[in-house]
Each structure stands twice: as C-alpha cells, then as structure tokens.
Structure 1
Amino acid sequence: MFNKAPHGKELSKDLRFGIVALHKDGLGYKSAAGTGELRFIEGNMDSIMYCTFLKQNMMPSLQKLGRTAVFRHDNDPKHTTKMTIALLRKVQ
C-alpha cells in the first residue's frame, strides 16, 4: 500500500507545512523540526488508507518529536470521515 521513495527519484521541492500530496501518488509531511518519510501510494486514497498512513507514519514521528504538534488537514472527505475523526480524537 505505501512505498518508500525510490532511490534517486527527484521529489517536488514545493513542500509546505503539514501533510502534502505530491503529484497524486505521494504522501509525506514536514514540520519545523524536519521532514518525515515520504510514502508513495497506489490507486486512490480512501479513509482506511489515510488512517493507516497516520498510524504507521505520522503518529510515531510525532511521538519522536516529544512535543505538542499542530496537525492540519483540509475538508477532503477522507479527512472528515467518522473513522478519521475517531482516530484523531483517540490520540489527542
């Protein structure tokens, strides 16, 4: 489902704060403390895949930072499903 960035693949330099989708096939994040791993996805991302990304990639990295973080996302349907909201409330 998620793949690490292939060795030598050029990535977009237009990374901004928060989770970013790159060319509709990559998902990663950036913070003041540094960048996280970029994961490439296959197919369309749904709320199940999004929650899996959060649990396997985003949350462990937030724990490593050891400080309070502000998590931002938009009103994309996968960001507002009951499953995603429940997951985010669970880790608050």
Structure 2
Amino acid sequence: MSVLVAFSVTPIGSGSDVGELVAAAVRVVRDSGLPNRTDAMFTTVEGETWEEVMAVVQAAVAVVQAASPRTSTVIKVDWREGPVGRLESKVASVERHLA
C-alpha cells in the first residue's frame, strides 16, 4: 500500500509572518522519519498506511493549532495498492517526459 498526503496548514490570526509556525509543522513531518518533501505550497508525506501518514499530519496541524487562534488545513490524498517510493517516482516520470 502507498499513501501520499499533500497538506498545507495555515495559521490565521498570528500576524503576517507565519514562517516560524509553518516550520514547526514541517519539523514534525521531518522528525517522523517518513519520506517527505516541502515546497512553496504543500508538504507531502508518504507512508504505507493511512493511519501512519494521517497521524503525522494530525501532529503537524496540532503544533500550529497550539500556537495560533485559528488554522486552515488543506489535504489531498493519493491512496493506492502498490509499492512505496512514489514521492520520488511520480516526479521522475514527469521529468523523463520533459527531457
């Protein structure tokens, strides 16, 4: 099983510079040990089960919620039978087509 979850958590009401709070969420993801990638809009995390990946997302959101009066979270899930490693292989496929 392969579960990819792309999520974004945005603190609301914490001022205009939210980088420190977002970094705290990303730190939770990186400390999880699961494969992950962060870009300008989302952090994507990959695991073998829904439960393990969503536990990481929930913990990351909780860190932001603890320091912000309100949060907004966007989540996109790609869940399928098959091997893990899609975090890298999906991007590699597109790059091959661009070459």
Do both share a fold (TM > 0.5)?
A: no
Which has the larger Rg? Answer: 2
TM-score in terms of structure 1 length: 0.37
**Which structure is richer in relative contact order (CA contacts within 8 A, separation 6 or more)?**
2
**Which one has a larger percent strand, Structure 1 or Structure 2?**
2
